[in-house]
Amino acid sequence: MARPLTVKRPDPIPLARYAATPDLVQAIEGWIEQLTAERRASAHTVAAYGRDLALFLDFLRDHLGGLPSIDALAKLEPRDFRAFLAKRAAEDLAKTSQARGLSVLRGFFRFLERRGHLKSTALALLRGPRLPRSVPKPLSVGDAAEALDTIDLVQQPEAEPWIAARDTAILTLLYGCGLRLSEALDLTAAQAPRAGMSTLLVTGKGNKQRVVPLLPAVIEAVEDYRAACPYVLGPAEPLFRGTRGGPLNPRLVQRLMEQLRIRLGLADTATPHALRHSFATHLLAGGGDLRAIQELLGHASLSTTQRYTEIDATKLMEIYDRAHPRAGRR
């Protein structure tokens, strides 16, 4: 009988690793509990937030000349935070990472204020780094189809046939259902698309769930992989496996797309996530409703969907002219 497979999740930073006095460490513990229990943040999010906060506290230890305490945080001025951001910028950190770190600090200070630990306006007076507008770069319809059809040709000579079936199933899920790579790899065998299913329940960021339609091509690709996979796929175990039977490493899927880029002469932006961009963009180009695409992608804000699908002013006017009841009365 196959042993149950344990999925390793990123562990939060041990409380002893935070450079802080006991009172602040205790507050950090409460913050982590809130992220996990109340906000239902994923293990990846909690670990990332913890790293950002730990980096800030390490900076304060050197900046202040001792372990930071709650009282010390209450006395921080905007210039202290600017010094931290300047240090991070000098480390050639991407502006998006700097902005995320600042967002984590704002959230942590709000938590401390709500718990009555301090009251500080320093962060409110601070402006974050200006972020460049990120424009999604989807694959063309032809390139997306060719990438799925070329998977066999980029496999290693020693690779077993089931590996190509697995890789085809994953990329078909990303493009056919608009899944994030993490969402596809989080699927269990019990959740796997199969004959008779018309929709797939997906758990996305913040444990928010959404329902996406299943194309016959997606079901066929996943069933082909399951039939070829040499490992016992227990209902609660990960659907996609590595060569040794453990959960599939996302880096292997990224490497697959790198190989496809080289083979097909695609741009560096042709990543696993670009298949999700392509899903949304191709739906929109085919006349898909913007709100429906927002639901399929799991976006909380419509503006996010607009950026995701590279909507231009012309397309927006077409949607307006079709949908607004007074659009034809100008």
Q: Report the pLDDT value the prediction gives residue 250, as an integer from 0 to 100.
A: 93
Q: Which residue has the higher pLDDT, 5 or 44?
A: 44
Give percent above pLDDT 70 in the chain.
84
Q: Which residues are catalytic?
A: 180, 205, 273, 276, 299, 308
Distance in angstroms (rounded) separating the CA atoms of residues 240 and 283 = 27
Class of 15-125 in CATH: mainly alpha
Whether the predicted pLDDT of 6 surpasses 60: no
CATH 1.10.443.10 fits 141-275, yes or no: yes
Q: What does the domain layout of the chain look like in residue ranges?
A: 15-125, 141-275
pLDDT (0 to 100) of residue 3: 39
Q: Do domains 15-125 and 141-275 have the same CATH topology?
A: no
Report percent pLDDT > 90 for the chain: 48
Tokens of 123: 């962060």
pLDDT exceeds cutoff 80 at 44: no
